[in-house]
Amino acid sequence: MSQQSFTQNPWSYWMKGDGPDSDIVVSTRLRIARNLSQLPFPLLATDSQAEEVVRKVSAAAKDEAMKNLADFELITMEQISPLEKRVLVEKHLVSPNLAEESRKGAVLLNREESISIMINEEDHIRIQVLLPGFQLNEAWETGSKLDDLFEKHLNYAFDEKRGYLTSCPTNVGTGIRASVMLHLPALVITQQINRILQAINQVGLVVRGLYGEGSEALGNLFQLSNQVTLGLAESDILANLYSVARQIIEQERVARRYLHEHSRTALEDRIYRSYGILLYARNVESKEAAQRLSDVRLGIDLGIIKGIPSNIINELLVMTQPGFLQHHAGQKLTPEQRDERRARLIRERLSTVTN
């Protein structure tokens, strides 16, 4: 398997669209932050110390027990182009920080792209498990196994009182960040989303956009994740997130039923207008594409639009991003060229399942 396969192919395992509650939960992500005890954290490390971290972590990944769980490919950020880095960010395989700011950064990826081990990001190690649908417990089980296997070979920075030590104080303790990507168009249309977001902030959780902190909630996609990592057991963190996510899922379903029963004509008009634009438009901006794809996905989930698998919409979320468009074209594109290419790509992809 070559590094090009991760950047040329838009598909990742989390896009399958067949996980639990996948009509609303696009994906589940679990991330575990760890640092090595005998080396400075990435912000203070020299290049040689950062390279040592890459050697130690990649060597640990070759353990036989580890290889039975996942066979990894090492990609260093220095060996790939800026566009390839951007594609990895758009596929949620690496963070923007690893792609743009880290020195001697690297990532270990498994073939299905369900696991990525980021090296020399904000912390020495960021273990990430990314699964389709609502699979918090399954993600934790895999992440915990990986964490235990790495700890067999690596001495983690750990304090008996504070727990696992991290670069950012908000990650100290368990070092766990769990999140679910929720598609909430009905709550947005019925104008209930702001009330829900305000309530979420009061229970130790936070909502971010498609690409994490500081990003916009494009296409009615919201990342719900834990804020607190210190003073709570892993099971408590996951249980709290699960409970709140389950409530939001049910509220979205109630809002969808209400729209379907009381505003059916307006809802169908909105969905089919977006579907028509995606099928025939010659220029589509990124923000509009995300919104139109959200409408079509809602139509698919409600059975209004038939014959299009939801995984196609998940793929298009990545394929229509600026990095992938330009990497696929083999050159940098102007905004106008990207809009034209985005529209053509959407038309072609949808035509493969509608003809």
CA atoms within 13 A on the CB side of 6: 32
Q: Is 34 annotated as a binding residue?
A: no
Helix (H, G, I), strand (E, B) or coil at 183: strand
Give the model's pLDDT for residue 169: 87
Residues 85, 204, single domain; the answer is yes
Residues 278, 161, single domain; the answer is no
Q: Is 292 annotated as a binding residue?
A: no
Give the model's pLDDT for residue 36: 97
Query: Last residue of some domain: 255, 282, 301?
Result: 255
Query: Residue 102 contacts by C-beta under 8 Å, 6 or more apart in sequence?
Result: 42, 77, 120, 121
- Token pair for residue 78? 């220095």
Q: Is 246 annotated as a binding residue?
A: no
Q: Is 351 annotated as a binding residue?
A: no
Residues 243, 350, single domain; the answer is no
Q: Is 280 annotated as a binding residue?
A: no
Give the model's pLDDT for residue 229: 80
Query: Last residue of some domain: 210, 226, 255?
Result: 255
Give the model's pLDDT for residue 16: 84
Q: Is 160 annotated as a binding residue?
A: no
- Tell me how far apart the alpha carbons of residues 92 and 173 are, in angstroms, rounded to a whole number: 24
Residues 15, 96, single domain; the answer is yes
pLDDT along the chain (355 residues), means of 10: 69 87 96 96 94 96 86 94 92 93 91 96 97 97 96 94 91 94 96 91 82 67 88 90 97 97 97 97 96 97 93 91 91 95 95 73
Q: Is 209 annotated as a binding residue?
A: yes
Give the model's pLDDT for residue 13: 87
Using an 8 Å Cβ cutoff, are 27 and 138 in contact?
no
pTM: 0.92
Domain at 33, CATH number: 3.30.590.10
- Tell me how far apart the alpha carbons of residues 25 and 192 are, in angstroms, rounded to a whole number: 18
Residues 175, 70, single domain; the answer is yes
Residues 209, 271, single domain; the answer is no
Residues 162, 58, single domain; the answer is yes
> For the chain, what is the domain count?
2
Residues 231, 323, single domain; the answer is no
Q: Is 262 annotated as a binding residue?
A: no
In the chain, which ranges are E strands? 25-34, 72-76, 106-110, 115-119, 125-132, 158-159, 163-164, 176-183, 205-208, 221-226
- Token pair for residue 34? 């760890």
- Tell me how far apart the alpha carbons of residues 316 and 231 are, in angstroms, rounded to a whole number: 40
Q: Is 210 annotated as a binding residue?
A: yes
Q: Is 29 annotated as a binding residue?
A: yes
Handedness of CA 339, 342, 343, 344 (dihedral sign): positive
Estimate to the nearest angstrom the gap between the alpha carbon of 214 and the chain centroid.
14
CA atoms within 13 A on the CB side of 105: 21
Residues 267, 244, single domain; the answer is no
- Phi and psi angles of residue 225, each rounded to the nearest 5 degrees, phi first: -145, 165
- Tell me how far apart the alpha carbons of residues 222 and 25 are, in angstroms, rounded to a whole number: 10
Q: Is 330 annotated as a binding residue?
A: no
133 in the Ramachandran plot: left (φ > 0), alpha (ψ -120 to 50) or beta? left
Q: Is 126 annotated as a binding residue?
A: yes
DSSP structural state of residue 229: -
Instruction: Print the domain residue range for 324.
Output: 263-354
Residues 64, 123, single domain; the answer is yes
Q: Is 178 annotated as a binding residue?
A: yes
Q: Is 195 annotated as a binding residue?
A: no
Using an 8 Å Cβ cutoff, are 12 and 113 in contact?
yes
Query: Last residue of some domain: 213, 235, 255?
Result: 255
Residues 215, 303, single domain; the answer is no
Residues 106, 233, single domain; the answer is yes
